[in-house]
């Protein structure tokens, strides 16, 4: 066979027949996912839902709504957070082009198409897609909704701390420090300090605080100054999950301002979870809700105690209980004591273990491996739409794992590696067992021959030692 040489700078063919265009056998995960969506009639349903937001037969045909949602699913399954990265990955992969049903003579959608369609479709459509996936999981006997764990995390916003300005005066950080230096007499009124002087002054001054009441971001007004999980300070949003602990399906994925406390958002998240479960066809009447210590509040427990469909199992923080109920209503005392009794019982401890394992796992899948820890959009509504589709992709991954044994495209590779390890271990076990059987057989032969007088005493001892 002759050696091929890489062609550089040569003129390419002007016309290429269609049968000569490169083709891909496709990825088995995306083929099965398309089969699942096709059997459930996803494309026809989503085109009917999105129809009122498009012109009726007028203008150039847009990107099909099914492909818009599929491209956002690709972002989760491939671990890509930005829309530019999703568009590039879809244009670069032949298997993803097959997943999106893009003909060979057409270009893949650009990232601007995703932005334009996201602006066109309201939040209600994205919520309906979320509920549709939950109803599909119910049809497959996965959705339960009896035990729902709640927890929250922070998402880094697409805005830097350097962009914050004073709410009252509109000064940025440098202008604010310069004014403080002039007021304290550190520099002359007409002087302009250098960046090094500003850093030294900022490091030495006391009572440094950056409050959301005094500062805001002009780049993303909805972002709030928050402490992240790693201890750093960023502009961020708050994401809160309500997770079905029996199936690990996310039944509510809400986005709030980053500085809203957990006790403020718990009722809203549970209300959305109940609505989603009802619209998905769940017949659960009472929902057990475990949560961590950050959600414990006498006022919230009292409000939730009035709802007969919610039973709380919220962990109680360590507090001094001296004179706790002197200035509080007795109904709050009854609600707190009832929650304490349930949380310390065997069912409460079991639910807390499941919550700490499975709710945290959803954040790991969506935010870390799914690429949603940092938002690339600005505005709470845009971030909400994008994050809701990441939760949809997570639920589809749970559904695919239950039906086909793989929840992501990379999960198939791990399944093959695990299978090869199991086969290798079984082969090694068989070899060790066969060697042990041979030793036992040799020992019995030596005993039989020694008893029948074939060997002398010295030879008998040496052969028995060798056999054993």
How many secondary structure helices (H) and strands (E) does the chain include? 17, 8
- What distance, in Å, lies between the first and last C-alpha atoms of the chain? 56
b/e 403-431 (16+ beta carbons within 10 angstroms → b): ebebbbbebbeeeeeeeeeeeeeeeeeee
Give the number of other Cβ atoms within 10 Å of residue 445's Cβ: 12
**3-state secondary structure (DSSP) of residue 233:** strand
- Pairwise pLDDT comparison (338 vs 162), residue with the higher score: 338
Q: How far apart are CA 108 and CA 91, in angstroms?
A: 5
Report the candidate in 291, 297, 293 with the shortest Cα–Cα distance to residue 328: 297
Structure-token pair, residue 58: 């007028």
Across the range 395-415, mean pLDDT stands at 80
Residue-wise burial string across 32-67, b where 16 or more C-beta atoms lie within 10 A, e elsewhere: ebbebbeebebbebbeebbeeebeeeeeeebbbbbb
* Percent of residues, the chain, with pLDDT higher than 70: 83
Q: For position 133, what pLDDT does the model report?
A: 96
pTM listed for this prediction:
0.82
Q: Which of 328, 257, 341 is nearest to 299 (CA)?
A: 328
How is residue 80 annotated by DSSP?
-
The yes-or-no verdict on residue 418 having pLDDT over 80 is: no
**Residue bearing tokens 């300005």:** 165
Residue 405's pLDDT is 83
Q: Domain boundaries in the chain?
A: 21-121, 143-159+224-317+327-395, 161-202+210-217, 413-467
36-79 pLDDT, tens digit each: 999 999 999 999 999 999 887 777 888 899 999 999 999 999 99
Instruction: Identify which has the larger pLDDT, 143 or 103.
Output: 143
Please, are residues 201 and 182 in contact by the beta-carbon 8 Å criterion?
no
What residues contact 381, with CB distance under 8 A and at least 6 apart?
Answer: 123
**For residue 76, what are its two tokens?**
């989760």
List, for residues 182-224, the tens digit of each pLDDT value: 888 888 878 888 888 888 888 888 877 888 888 999 999 999 9
**Residue for token digits 């992969």?**
93
Are 331 and 303 within 8 A, CB to CB? no
Which of 57-71, 266-280, 430-444 is least confident?
Answer: 430-444
Quickly count: other Cβ atoms within 10 Å of residue 360's Cβ: 15
Query: Residue 76's closest CA among 400, 343, 331, 451?
Result: 400
Q: pLDDT confidence of 382, banded at 50, 70, 90?
A: very high
With 80 as the cut, is the pLDDT of residue 236 above it?
yes
Quote the CA–CA distance of 74 and 86 in Å, as a whole number: 7
For 216, the token pair is 């805001």
Q: Distance of CA 306 to CAs 148, 154, 278, 289, 335, Å?
A: 18, 30, 20, 14, 9
Domain 143-159+224-317+327-395 has CATH 3.30.420: yes
Q: Is the dihedral of CA 331, 337, 340, 346 positive or negative?
A: negative
- pLDDT of amino acid 175: 87
For the ranges 284-288, 306-310, 421-425, the lowest mean pLDDT is seen at 421-425
| DSSP structure class, residue 263 | H
Kindly provide the residue ranges of all beta strands, DSSP E only, lying in 136-232, ordered along the sequence: 148-156, 164-166, 215-217, 224-227
146 contacts 237 by C-beta, under 8 angstroms: no
Q: What pLDDT is stored for residue 450 in this prediction?
A: 62
């Amino acid at each position: 066979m002759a050696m091929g040489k890489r062609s550089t700078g040569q003129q390419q063919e002007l016309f290429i027949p269609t049968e000569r265009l490169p083709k891909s056998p496709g990825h088995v995960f995306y083929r099965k996912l398309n089969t699942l969506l096709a059997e459930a009639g996803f494309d026809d349903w989503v085109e009917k839902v999105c129809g009122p937001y498009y012109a009726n037969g007028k203008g150039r045909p847009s990107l099909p709504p099914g492909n818009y949602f599929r491209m956002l699913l690709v972002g989760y399954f491939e671990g890509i957070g930005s829309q530019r990265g999703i568009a590039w990955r879809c244009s670069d992969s032949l298997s993803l082009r097959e997943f999106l049903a893009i003909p060979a003579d057409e270009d893949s959608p650009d990232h601007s198409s995703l932005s334009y369609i996201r602006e066109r479709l309201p939040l209600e459509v994205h919520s309906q897609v979320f509920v549709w996936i939950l109803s599909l999981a119910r049809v497959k006997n996965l959705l339960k909704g009896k035990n729902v764990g709640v927890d929250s995390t922070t998402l880094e916003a697409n805005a830097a701390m350097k962009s914050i300005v004073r709410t009252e005066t509109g000064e940025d950080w440098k202008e604010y420090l310069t004014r403080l230096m002039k007021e304290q007499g550190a520099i002359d009124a007409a002087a302009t300090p250098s960046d090094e002087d500003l850093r030294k002054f900022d490091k030495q001054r006391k009572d440094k605080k950056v409050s959301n009441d005094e500062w805001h971001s002009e780049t993303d007004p909805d972002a709030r100054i928050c402490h992240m999980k790693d201890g750093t300070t960023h502009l961020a949003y708050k994401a809160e999950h309500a997770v079905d602990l029996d199936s690990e399906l996310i039944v509510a994925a809400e986005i709030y301002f980053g500085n809203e406390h957990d006790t403020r958002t718990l009722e809203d998240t549970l209300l959305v979870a109940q609505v989603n479960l009802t619209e998905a066809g769940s017949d659960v009447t009472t929902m057990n809700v475990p949560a961590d210590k950050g959600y414990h509040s006498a006022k919230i427990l009292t409000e939730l105690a009035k709802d007969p469909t919610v039973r709380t199992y919220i962990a109680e923080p360590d507090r001094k209980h001296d004179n706790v109920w002197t200035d509080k209503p007795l109904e709050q005392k009854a609600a707190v004591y009832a929650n304490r009794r349930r949380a310390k019982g065997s069912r409460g401890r079991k639910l807390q273990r499941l919550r700490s394992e499975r709710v945290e796992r959803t954040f790991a899948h969506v935010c870390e491996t799914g690429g949603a820890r940092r938002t690339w959009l600005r505005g709470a509504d845009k971030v909400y739409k994008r994050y809701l589709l990441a939760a949809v992709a997570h639920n589809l991954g749970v559904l695919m794992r239950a039906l086909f044994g793989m929840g992501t495209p990379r999960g198939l590779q791990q399944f093959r590696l695990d299978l090869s390890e199991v086969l290798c271990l079984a082969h090694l076990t068989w070899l060790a067992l066969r060697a042990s059987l041979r030793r036992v057989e040799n020992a019995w032969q030596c005993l039989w021959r020694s008893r029948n007088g074939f060997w002398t005493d010295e030879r008998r001892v040496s052969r028995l030692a060798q056999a054993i």
